[in-house]
Structure 1
Amino acid sequence: MSINHKKHTHLDVVLGKTSPFAITEAYKTMRTNLSFALADAKNKRVVITSSLPNEGKSTTATNIAITLAQTGKKTLLIDADMRKPTQYKIFRLTRGNGLSSLLGGFTKPENTIVEDVRENLDLITSGPIPPNPTELLSSSKMRELLEELNKTYEYIILDTPPINIVSDALALADICAGVVLVIRQNQTKHETLQKAIKSLEFAEMKILGAVVTHAGNERKSRYYRYMKYKSYKE
């Protein structure tokens, strides 16, 4: 699936009433495909990552969460990028207590969840930047937290750091349904993408699909194509 974010900041492309029709429809296509991909999954927790920074993963995570919430399903967006968090900026909040606070045992979910950042959508920010993000994400507390949150939320979307930089996303492999890989047109290189895919496969993390961001209108006829990850192995 291709999404044209060209010449926009992350604040400009958060879905809303004035969002361009093509972008809105592209995310609805992604929502449909995710719904099918998660139909038989044990849980509906989805990791969003990219191979390198500045490929649009955080905006993609935000908009996927928004479109899922628009179906009336209670959805939670977690900023699991505790190294370079973005979600609090997107929603114009302070980091405050967040995921790192929860995993560190300093607070409880009811004191951390920002309710109704959009209709049916709640948010957990990253919290203060910790010294050990990977260890926190792979901890038993993270597993316990997600199990507890699943009692309230139909979908949980996790925005994680780029996979070729740090292994944080891989720490979630056995507690999430799978991953969506974000690719930036004319920036993400084939060898970089291959490295990310191999890392995910080595961790036995199911790749649910990919989103191509900053796609130009010259490919308009293929604008809504859902990108199966296997096509990048050819």
Structure 2
Amino acid sequence: MSNSTNRRPIITHENPKSPISEAYRTLRTNIQFSSIDEELKVLMITSAGPGEGKSTTLVNLAVAYAQADKKVLVIDADLRKPTMHHTLQVSNRWGLTNLLTNQLSIPEVLQASAIKNLNIITSGPIPPNPSEILASKKMTSVLDELRQQFDIVLIDAPPAIAVTDSQIIATRSDGVILVVDSDRVKRDAALKAKQNLDNVRARILGVVLNNVDRKNRDAYYYYYYGESK
């Protein structure tokens, strides 16, 4: 079990009536309506650089789907700095790297979280060659199999301008969400991340802008979505 001190709060689970939780539900709805003729089942979440909130966005979006009675799988494909096992408080002794190197099967690496309908495949041991492992034919076959088992698969990928991992995963995903911290990331960095994804013809569904000042709107959202008696 992971150390609870490393766990980030999951607001959609702990405070589902908050305006922030409603924003994640809105994101879920926008994704669902972003493609009418094609079902989006495998989504990759990335950011331009580290610390922008991609993993927080992913796990809250995952809970939003789970709360809608969808069978959800989170895959931690950040094989360099994995964090999802801390967030969902599961073991990382085995995971995606064991699966992709044919040491274990999908049922052996699949773990149920404490949240209903939400499962996870953690990163597993950090490998010396993350990009090569993610580019393997095994990764493609694994995702094809998981499409049949889950309603939605959300992949936590490394930052898009740091390494090529995100570009590799994007080619195997139905869509990409780019998370941008409005306070930290410069325009050039965000555009570079988008360009890297465009270079592999990734299907960018949209951008999540974090840390936007919404003080004036919060009062309205708390009033509208607050608990009624």
Structure 1 runs (4+) deviating above 6 angstroms are none
Deviation of residue 85 (structure 1)? Answer: 0.1
Q: Secondary structure, in 3 states, of the residue corresponding to 1:164?
A: coil
Q: Please name the residue that 2:68 is paired with.
A: 71
Q: How many residues align?
A: 215
Bigger helix share = 2
C-alpha distance in structure 2 between counterparts of 1:119 and 1:137, whole Å: 28
Deviation of residue 218 (structure 1)? Answer: 3.8
C-alpha distance in structure 1 between counterparts of 2:125 and 2:182, whole Å: 32
* TM-score for the superposition, normalised by structure 1: 0.86
8 Å CA contact 2:40–2:175 kept in 1: the answer is: no
C-alpha distance in structure 2 between counterparts of 1:182 and 1:174, whole Å: 18
Pairing partner for 1:82 from 59, 79, 83: 79
Gaps of 5+ in 1: 1-8, 225-234
Q: Larger deviation: 51-60 or 111-120?
A: 111-120
The AA in structure 2 aligned to 1:137 is L
Superposition pairs for residues 52-63 of structure 1, below 5 Å? 52-63=49-60
Q: Please name the residue that 2:178 is paired with.
A: 181
Gaps of 5+ in 2: 1-5, 222-229
Q: Deviations over 1:51-81 (max 9, x none)?
A: 0000000111111111111111111000000
Deviation of residue 219 (structure 1)? Answer: 6.1
Deviation of residue 137 (structure 1)? Answer: 1.1
8 Å CA contact 1:117–1:123 kept in 2: the answer is: no
Q: Please name the residue that 1:12 is paired with.
A: 9
C-alpha distance in structure 2 between counterparts of 1:193 and 1:77, whole Å: 24
Residues 28 and 135 (structure 1), Cα distance of their counterparts in 2 relative to 1, 3 Å cut: same
8 Å CA contact 2:7–2:86 kept in 1: the answer is: no
- Is the radius of gyration larger for structure 1 or structure 2? 2
**Identity across aligned pairs (percent)?**
37
* TM-score for the superposition, normalised by structure 2: 0.88
Q: Secondary structure, in 3 states, of the residue corresponding to 2:97?
A: helix
